């Protein structure tokens, strides 16, 4: 066992290699190799006690303050990062984070010129409604220098709380932001995967809370939006699932499919039986002013609704039993024509999906499934004519437009298990002017590491158009980088985000390894920033000892702050993510969760937190 001493301020401290790091006495001069006094799973104290001071036998040297003590080489350590360094921490206070703490942000919902963000505590019990769920919408100030305790509510004018209607509804099972009615304000999409109509258990719902300046007033008054009885001043459109146990709202994203400049919505109901048991279905809702209404719309009864003209149904192929089509999805323009594609995963591997609706039979909530090894469907924009009405598409050869069907594979150095559990598309990671595609596999086998996770970047993704194959069958002209998770069990690439974080004009990609052991901190998690650059290697191994040299590929790591301790799981950094320019500096900022980070109160263990990390701070770790 090695002991290292550090001298300063007339004291000498001893640090023992092998212990988890915790900040000691404000000192921030230790090597990234030092493991000192620790705390687990959040901001509460605990873990290894403070080392005992040893009197110094020699004069103390002058210590030059380090301007950015949280940066070491190409790494950023969240343990040392304070709010004045470019960090917002929204501490959770309710629920159980182990099943998911979705985050969203990057749009201005109240019209004050600053982007806002939100965190869902989907297993919170507001007003004694067990697992009804709640979402805290934070109105941004334009600064990334804040610590917020969600347990103190009202919060002095910057939080609106949304609470679920029913028991086990899980309001906030997924959340997202975009402008879907075209009024210039961001809207908050709140999925409620276990919502039950009066005649259908677990059909699910999606509520669209439209942006308004009234949200500022509501926040100032400490207001709550109760989805059981919302205030008349806020417009909310709720879509409810067609059939019992459909689970509408398992996933939701937005993007412009029809090219009119307004974001459209894609929402999955992964347990729909339209094409076989749990085959799944996706609804595409055209964005526009027609959505800006207060209404509850049953998707089983669209024939007399004005919304019928604006909702398309996309099904998997017939016989897609247990495909869970739509459990993950996204929207992104892959062929640079100004109209985005619908990207749909046929796989699921998610703890939150194993939770059943109130009154649902045992075994009715499937947390695992999908096409063998996972599969990605790309329904290209030419399947969505500008004047579509009552559109019903099947993702097979009968489509009039283009279709891609790409499956996972088993190869010598990697093997897919859940290909398609994360999907991003439409950005250019190598600066060649062509859109790229990222697909994650939460439990992929990477270089012999079980459940390490795999990520795939497909460059110039337009080349995938009309292919029906697996990864092994792609043409040799298709450029691809495979990203290996750093350790067994890290489930890397299940979450990813992208944006131009350093402002150099090339979009950067961040993949998360939520269960990574960062600097000896078990399950603290890590984010890996793959900086946008012209040359990407075929394999990017995220294991510490195998990461490419900076001469070969520019990569930075963000280490989670706290590892596991008895009764307290490590932070699990990066199990949900979004991106947006929160501080208006022209650089995109990271919005991520600590899925089981601790809140401020002693009782708020493993509730989960939201972090906003400024692009400016992350850029300091760029090689």
Residues belonging to the chain: 623
Residue 296 has pLDDT above 60, yes or no: yes
The pair phi, psi for residue 99, each rounded to 5°, is: -100, 0
Taking a C-beta distance cutoff of 8 angstroms, is the pair 543, 578 a contact? no
Mean pLDDT computed over 373-388: 95
Buried b (16+ CB within 10 A) or exposed e, 168-179: bbbbbbbbbbbb
Model confidence at 15, pLDDT cuts 50, 70, 90, reads very low
> Please, which residues have CB within 8 angstroms of residue 101's CB and are 6 or more apart in sequence?
92, 95, 119, 120, 121, 122, 575, 576, 593, 594, 595, 607, 608, 609, 610
Taking a C-beta distance cutoff of 8 angstroms, is the pair 410, 416 a contact? yes
Per-residue pLDDT tens over the stretch 447-487: 999 999 999 999 999 999 999 999 999 999 999 999 999 99
d(CA 445, CA 452): 6
Distance from chain centroid for Cα 507: 17
Residue 60 has pLDDT above 60, yes or no: no
Model confidence at 390, pLDDT cuts 50, 70, 90, reads confident
Query: Residues 160, 166, 167, 168: is their CA dihedral positive or negative?
Result: negative
- The single residue listed with the structure tokens 């303050």 is 65
Taking a C-beta distance cutoff of 8 angstroms, is the pair 606, 96 a contact? yes
| Strand-pair partners of 422 | 440
Q: Is 488 exposed, middle or buried (0-12, 13-18, 19+ CB in 10 A)?
A: middle
Residue 209 has pLDDT above 90, yes or no: yes
What are the residue boundaries of the structural domains of the chain, listed by start?
3-27+78-620
> Please, which residues have CB within 8 angstroms of residue 501's CB and are 6 or more apart in sequence?
508, 510, 529, 587, 588, 589, 590, 615, 618, 619
Residue 33 has pLDDT above 80, yes or no: no
d(CA 495, CA 558): 14
Taking a C-beta distance cutoff of 8 angstroms, is the pair 496, 527 a contact? no
d(CA 148, CA 159): 10
Per-residue pLDDT tens over the stretch 234-261: 999 999 999 999 999 999 999 999 999 9
| Helix (H/G/I), strand (E/B), else coil: 509 | strand
Distance from chain centroid for Cα 78: 18
Residue 51 has pLDDT above 80, yes or no: no
d(CA 113, CA 296): 30
Mean pLDDT computed over 363-390: 95
Per-residue pLDDT tens over the stretch 522-558: 999 999 999 999 999 999 999 999 999 999 999 999 9
Taking a C-beta distance cutoff of 8 angstroms, is the pair 118, 104 a contact? yes
Of 223, 194, 231, 226, the closest CA to residue 128 belongs to 226
Residue 13 has pLDDT above 90, yes or no: no
The DSSP secondary-structure symbol of 169 reads -
* Mean pLDDT score across all residues of the chain: 90
121 or 46, which is more confident: 121
Pair of tokens at residue 226: 């109760």
Residue 4 has pLDDT above 80, yes or no: no
Pair of tokens at residue 283: 């609804």
d(CA 176, CA 591): 12
Model confidence at 382, pLDDT cuts 50, 70, 90, reads very high
Residue 581 has pLDDT above 90, yes or no: yes
Per-residue pLDDT tens over the stretch 163-202: 999 999 999 999 999 999 999 999 999 999 999 999 999 9
Taking a C-beta distance cutoff of 8 angstroms, is the pair 322, 346 a contact? no
d(CA 177, CA 260): 18
Q: CA torsion angle for 512, 419, 350, 178 (degrees, to 10)?
A: 70
| Strand-pair partners of 403 | 379
- The single residue listed with the structure tokens 């620790």 is 38
- For domain 3-27+78-620, give the fold: Methylamine Dehydrogenase; Chain H (2.130.10)
| Neighbour order of strands in the sheet with 295-298 | 171-178, 187-192, 205-209, 236-240, 295-298
| Strand-pair partners of 224 | 161
Q: CA torsion angle for 105, 106, 111, 114 (degrees, to 10)?
A: 110
Residue 585 has pLDDT above 90, yes or no: yes
pLDDT at residue 565, rounded to an integer: 94
Q: Are strands 392-394 and 311-315 parallel, antiparallel or unpaired?
A: parallel
Entry pTM: 0.89
CA atoms within 13 A on the CB side of 486: 23
Of 228, 207, 225, 206, the closest CA to residue 215 belongs to 225
> Please, which residues have CB within 8 angstroms of residue 317's CB and are 6 or more apart in sequence?
275, 394, 395, 396
> Please, which residues have CB within 8 angstroms of residue 567's CB and are 6 or more apart in sequence?
605
| Strand-pair partners of 254 | 265
Taking a C-beta distance cutoff of 8 angstroms, is the pair 76, 86 a contact? no
Q: Is 605 exposed, middle or buried (0-12, 13-18, 19+ CB in 10 A)?
A: buried
**Rounded CA Rg of the chain:** 24
Pair of tokens at residue 436: 């790229």
Residue 218 has pLDDT above 80, yes or no: yes
The percent of residues above 70 in pLDDT, for the chain, comes to 89
pLDDT at residue 68, rounded to an integer: 58
Residue 9 has pLDDT above 60, yes or no: no
Q: Is 4 exposed, middle or buried (0-12, 13-18, 19+ CB in 10 A)?
A: middle
d(CA 524, CA 558): 11
């Amino acid at each position: 066992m090695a002991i290292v001493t550090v001298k300063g301020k007339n004291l000498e401290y001893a640090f023992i290699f092998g212990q988890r790091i915790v900040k000691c006495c404000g000192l921030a001069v230790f090597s990234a190799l030092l493991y000192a006094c620790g705390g687990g799973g959040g901001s509460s104290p605990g873990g290894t006690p403070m080392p005992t001071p040893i009197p110094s036998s020699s004069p103390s040297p002058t210590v030059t303050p380090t301007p950015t003590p949280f940066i070491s080489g190409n790494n950023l350590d969240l343990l040392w990062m304070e709010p004045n360094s470019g960090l917002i921490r929204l501490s959770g206070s309710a629920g159980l984070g182990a099943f998911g703490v979705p985050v969203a942000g990057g749009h201005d919902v109240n019209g004050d010129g600053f982007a806002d963000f939100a965190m869902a505590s989907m297993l919170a019990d507001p007003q004694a409604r067990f697992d009804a769920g709640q979402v805290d919408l934070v109105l941004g100030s334009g600064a990334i220098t804040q610590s917020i305790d969600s347990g103190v509510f009202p919060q002095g004018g910057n939080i609106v709380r949304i609470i679920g209607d029913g028991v086990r509804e899980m309001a906030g099972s997924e959340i997202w932001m975009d402008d879907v009615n075209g009024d210039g304000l961001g809207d908050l999409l709140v999925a409620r995967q276990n919502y039950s109509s009066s005649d259908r258990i677990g059909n699910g719902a999606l509520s669209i809370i439209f942006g308004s300046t009234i949200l500022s007033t509501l926040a100032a008054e400490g207001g709550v939006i109760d989805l059981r009885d919302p205030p008349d001043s806020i417009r909310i459109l709720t879509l409810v699932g067609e059939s019992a146990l459909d689970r509408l709202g398992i996933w939701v994203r937005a993007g412009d499919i029809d090219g009119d400049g307004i974001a459209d919505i894609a929402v999955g109901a992964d347990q729909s039986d339209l094409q076989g048991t749990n085959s799944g279905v996706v609804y595409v809702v055209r964005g526009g002013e027609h959505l800006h209404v207060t209404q509850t719309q049953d998707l089983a009864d669209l024939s007399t609704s004005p919304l019928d003209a604006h909702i398309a149904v996309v099904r998997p192929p017939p016989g897609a039993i247990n495909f869970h089509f739509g459990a993950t999805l996204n929207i992104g323009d892959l062929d640079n024509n100004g109209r985005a594609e619908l990207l749909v995963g046929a796989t699921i591997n998610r703890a939150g999906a194993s939770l059943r609706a109130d009154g649902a039979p045992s075994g009715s909530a499937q947390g695992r499934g999908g096409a063998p090894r996972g599969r990605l469907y790309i329904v290209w924009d030419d399947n969505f004519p500008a004047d579509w009405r009552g559109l019903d598409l099947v993702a097979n050869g009968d489509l009039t437009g283009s279709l891609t069907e790409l499956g996972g594979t088993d190869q010598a150095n990697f093997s897919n298990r859940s290909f398609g559990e994360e999907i991003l598309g439409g950005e250019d990671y190598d600066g060649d002017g062509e859109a790229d595609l990222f697909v994650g596999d939460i439990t992929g086998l990477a270089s012999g590491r079980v459940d390490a996770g795999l990520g795939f970047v497909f460059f110039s993704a337009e080349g995938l158009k009309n292919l029906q194959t697996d990864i092994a069958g792609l043409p040799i002209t298709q450029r691809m980088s495979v990203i290996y998770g750093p350790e067994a069990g890290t489930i890397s690439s299940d979450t990813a985000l992208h944006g131009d974080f350093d402002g150099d004009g090339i979009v950067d990609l961040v993949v998360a390894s939520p269960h990574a052991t960062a600097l000896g901190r078990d399950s603290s998690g890590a984010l890996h920033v793959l900086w946008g650059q012209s040359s990407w290697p075929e394999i990017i191994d995220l294991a510490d000892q195998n990461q490419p040299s900076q001469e070969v590929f520019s990569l930075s790591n963000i280490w989670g702050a706290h590892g596991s301790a008895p009764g307290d799981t490590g932070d699990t950094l990066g199990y949900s993510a979004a991106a947006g320019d929160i501080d208006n500096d022209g650089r995109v900022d990271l919005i991520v969760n600590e899925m089981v980070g601790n809140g401020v109160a002693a009782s708020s263990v493993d509730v989960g937190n939201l972090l906003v990390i400024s692009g400016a701070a992350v850029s300091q770790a760029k090689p």
